[in-house]
């Protein structure tokens, strides 16, 4: 379970890198927004794994099935963060991915298509993880006695769920704060490029620094 979530985390960081190198308003806003969303969603997904590990002391996908029958609250919280990870509209994961893909299309169609294919693959293995763990027949005896989320765990997940939907439904509250800084960053970058002599290695190194 942790491996699949880690692969998803790497895929999101690839989108952050792509958005950064577009050096556009949309791309940089998407990259920063995606970093914030990733910090919330990936942390929550690792906590999701920790919940069942605390009960059965294993992270193997094959050891779980049909948990929705015994852990409906857990299944709902897992679903929220899984959908945020794959970028469902209305969740925090969608806004950053959308901005990065739009900005990438303006710079390089091939880069945008490759990034989009990565998003599709990421959605496929996250949905696979959720289906294997949550749905299906409850066949394993030790899972019949497993307990749902306790009040302490609900208290931990509740603000993260709220944040996922807040970022997804009202992204302007985050984007407005970062827009001025990004505009200044792009302006400084363009000034630096304009002052650099063409085909000058030393100038490129200065810009990189």
Q: pLDDT per position in the chain (209 positions), as tens?
A: 888 888 888 888 889 999 999 999 999 999 999 999 999 999 999 999 999 999 888 888 888 888 888 899 999 999 999 999 988 999 999 999 999 999 999 988 898 888 888 888 888 888 989 998 998 787 788 788 888 999 999 999 999 999 999 999 999 999 999 999 999 999 888 888 876 555 444 544 555 55
Distance CA(4)–CA(126), nearest Å, equals 7
Distance CA(134)–CA(55), nearest Å, equals 15
Tokens of 189: 């970058």
Distance CA(87)–CA(150), nearest Å, equals 28
Output the pTM of the full model: 0.85
Confidence at residue 119, expressed as pLDDT on a 0 to 100 scale: 84
Domain regions of the chain by residue span: 2-170
Distance CA(78)–CA(49), nearest Å, equals 9
Confidence at residue 137, expressed as pLDDT on a 0 to 100 scale: 80
What is the signed CA dihedral for 53, 59, 65, 68, rounded to 10 degrees? 40
Confidence at residue 199, expressed as pLDDT on a 0 to 100 scale: 46
Distance CA(92)–CA(86), nearest Å, equals 10
Q: Are 26 and 99 spatial neighbours (Cβ–Cβ below 8 Å)?
A: yes
């Amino acid at each position: 379970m942790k491996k699949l979530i880690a692969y998803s985390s790497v895929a999101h960081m690839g989108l952050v890198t792509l958005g950064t190198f577009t050096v556009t308003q949309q791309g940089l806003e998407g990259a920063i927004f995606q970093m914030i969303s990733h910090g919330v969603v990936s942390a929550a997904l690792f906590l999701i794994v920790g919940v069942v590990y605390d009960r059965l002391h294993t992270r193997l996908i094959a050891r779980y099935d049909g948990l929705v029958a015994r852990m409906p609250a857990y299944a709902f919280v897992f679903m929220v963060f899984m959908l945020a990870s794959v970028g469902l509209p209305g969740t925090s994961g969608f806004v950053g991915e959308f901005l990065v893909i739009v900005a990438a299309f303006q710079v390089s169609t091939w880069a945008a298509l490759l990034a989009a294919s990565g998003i599709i693959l990421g959605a496929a293995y996250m949905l696979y993880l959720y289906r294997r763990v949550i749905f299906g027949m409850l066949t394993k005896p030790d899972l019949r006695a497993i307990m749902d989320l306790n009040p302490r765990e609900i208290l931990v997940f509740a603000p993260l769920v709220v944040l996922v939907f807040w970022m997804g439904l009202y992204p302007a509250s985050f984007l407005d704060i970062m827009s001025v800084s990004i505009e200044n960053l792009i302006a400084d970058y363009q000034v630096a490029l304009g002052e650099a002599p063409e085909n000058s290695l030393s100038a490129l190194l200065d810009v990189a620094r």
